[in-house]
Structure 1
């Protein structure tokens, strides 16, 4: 990603985790953990591990990145040339210790484990962002629970809702994402160590105890079986990120549509230099939404690559595994960027209550047609009421008048409803169904989590 665009689409901390330098750091961490685990179960000398661990502390400053980049293109993966350089660094300290670097492992063991460590650290940051978005949505659900606005279906005015109900729905979706994240941690944060074909034959009968010790060193789960050809863990992580991006993308779609000039019900927060046009001084563009929606557009395409990469060849794939190296970092960065911008907007969204009230009146009462029909249905039957109100709506449109002016003159209505009762039926706030109960349910669920 160009540095010029990074601030628009990415989030700096997660981007740093997937930088070249960080990747090398995670790989060296895996190599050191492997040596420590093997020394712990007497596979290699403890003295060698001490030297390897010491070398790992300053290896990043000694690695020739330019040479590594060239060698990676020739080797087919970054682990092969990195192990060579790291072994040489250890050898400078102790030739005997250098013999035990990468003992019994294969390139994919180190690359996969490093990726899992990256995912774990990046997901910890994303979890904080997600929790923040959830809490802000809860606060806004409470704050705007009585702010009546029009609900829209097929981009058309439908029935009244409240802005708080929108936020409650956002919060409920984010809560599901948080629950999914928690549920998958033990399953996906799993070490990879299988050797050449997954048998760890080079470690003979000690393979399983080394895997257990290796995972413990890294704070990861030990797999019951090597998983280098089965990529569901990686796909599960990416799938969660894609769902998060989809959920915040839905929010961004909502508020960008509500920002349209003709609607003007909410706005993204203002700041100097934000949302302007190079030619039209009056513009207030939804720039955060643009960034989030771009991520929501891009991530599904990346997910297609990740899903396709599940179909791997035998014990190590040709190309499918490699495709993950491109897709996973970008999915993480786009997700973190989308969440960062979502939090900014959710926290400081500019609500135009007057515009909401004005838009409720735009149809001259037509949005209350269902309310009238249902009130009348209990008196004359639903189908009869539907036909009656439908015809009244057509008359109101033809005469360019308020629907109440038409139905108030119908004999069937005058027979059953007083003027005051009809006025009450036409109040948008009187036809909100169980919205308040839904909001309460979402808020209650959050209180249960905090106990």
Structure 2
């Protein structure tokens, strides 16, 4: 895992110690089910249940000799058991009955952390959107001033987008929270399906309906695809924050510590490094999703080509997505919003952002659409090149535009309709959080 971009709670889920403890739990549950079916002696279960989780160092030492992690784990774990009991461990199972079932547990825990972080960010986006619902600023299309909007409207866009991501992540969690204990090629030849039902039920997992020797890898691809989309949505928010922090714009500023230093050469620099980092991490998530798609197609009932890839992309993607969401929440919580700069920027083009209002006003007063458009466009071109205001350029063409046509609030008459949708999202969010 990438230590720099891994929060402690996610690191704990994907530690080697947690993995092997989960393997032990799967094996003990499988033995318990086998005892109930009369396959494994009850006396053996007591010894199996008492055996401690083997150390990572011991497993690694045995793996170096055997070149097989699961056999090394089983050898290390059974060292403290009486031989009569140890021979019943892993009875009727194959390696990936253990690995994939345990991995389903770890994936479910990890997605829960990601979902919690996503819901925290959604709550912050909603709260800050409502805080700035009436903070008027200029909207930009193609990077160019368009029409007035509000900063709250901007944040509401990201709140709804991230809310959609939580639906995808919840579906992906259901997809990956599965296990299988079905034997060497998934036929249950040497193990009863009742063992699988019991173990997966105790672990809170679903069951792969028709297994091969592994859980189907389209499930993992679905998860990494959902994480990649979530990362891109966070990137969209972070990119907006980067653009609004440019010197020429200066409408927001991300939080910084008192010891912050932006450049080794230029002491004045106040760079949007957190926003930039969030954008960069989204690229990792997209790249890893591609690797997960490559893992779907395996030879016949299975091959091992997916294993080395998953050891990297599964924990890394979950860690990066979680880190990205938590960092975005920290950024938004401490974000400084300069509403005065927003107001000045809105007026920077001397009324050009009101061209559509003037255009529609003229057509409403009886001017045909084409003539009205050409007239306003001509006046706008003059204002842009001469430095005059749009109103002055219109006056030079014999049009005395009412002052009301230059009121930003005329663009925001239906914002209560949009706010009602945000209020609905807030209620839904609170219901989820309170569950």
Same fold (TM over 0.5): yes
Displacement, 1:63? 5.6
Residue pair 2:122, 2:162 contacting (<8 A) in 1 also: yes
Q: Does 1:83 align with 2:71?
A: no
CA RMSD across the alignment: 2.1
Cα 1:118/1:65, change in 2 over 3 Å: same
Cα 1:2/1:222, change in 2 over 3 Å: closer
The match for 2:104 among 116, 120, 138 is 116
2:389 aligned residue: 402
1:261 aligned residue: 247
Residue pair 2:291, 2:309 contacting (<8 A) in 1 also: yes
The TM-score, its normalising length taken from structure 2, stands at 0.93
2:22 aligned residue: 26
The match for 2:146 among 149, 158, 176 is 158
Cα 1:70/1:427, change in 2 over 3 Å: farther
Q: Does 1:232 align with 2:218?
A: yes
What is the aligned residue count? Answer: 429
Inter-partner Cα distance in structure 2 for 1:40 and 1:388: 87
Residue pair 1:229, 1:312 contacting (<8 A) in 2 also: no
The match for 2:155 among 164, 167, 177 is 167
Q: Deviations over 1:420-443 (max 9, x none)?
A: xx2222122321363442232022
| Structure richer in helix, relative to its length | 1
Q: Does 1:125 align with 2:113?
A: yes
Residue pair 2:274, 2:331 contacting (<8 A) in 1 also: yes
Q: Deviations over 1:107-129 (max 9, x none)?
A: 11211122211111111111111
Residue pair 2:178, 2:215 contacting (<8 A) in 1 also: no
Inter-partner Cα distance in structure 1 for 2:263 and 2:112: 36
Cα 1:149/1:62, change in 2 over 3 Å: closer
1:426 aligned residue: 406
Aligned partner of residue 148 in structure 2, secondary structure: strand
Inter-partner Cα distance in structure 2 for 1:189 and 1:433: 47
The TM-score, its normalising length taken from structure 1, stands at 0.89
Aligned partner of residue 313 in structure 1, secondary structure: coil
Unaligned ranges ≥5, structure 2 = none
Inter-partner Cα distance in structure 2 for 1:287 and 1:275: 11
Q: Deviations over 1:167-224 (max 9, x none)?
A: 1111111211222333444443111222111112112xxx221111111121212332
Displacement, 1:158? 1.6
Q: Does 1:220 align with 2:205?
A: yes
The match for 1:49 among 45, 48, 57 is 45
Cα 1:297/1:2, change in 2 over 3 Å: closer
Inter-partner Cα distance in structure 2 for 1:383 and 1:80: 79
1:276-315 matched pairs, under 5 angstroms: 276-315=262-301
Residue pair 1:150, 1:157 contacting (<8 A) in 2 also: yes
Q: Does 1:12 align with 2:3?
A: no
Inter-partner Cα distance in structure 2 for 1:372 and 1:251: 32
Cα 1:108/1:275, change in 2 over 3 Å: farther
Cα 1:281/1:196, change in 2 over 3 Å: same
Flag as ranges the 4+ runs of structure 1 deviating above 4 A.
none
Inter-partner Cα distance in structure 1 for 2:175 and 2:201: 15
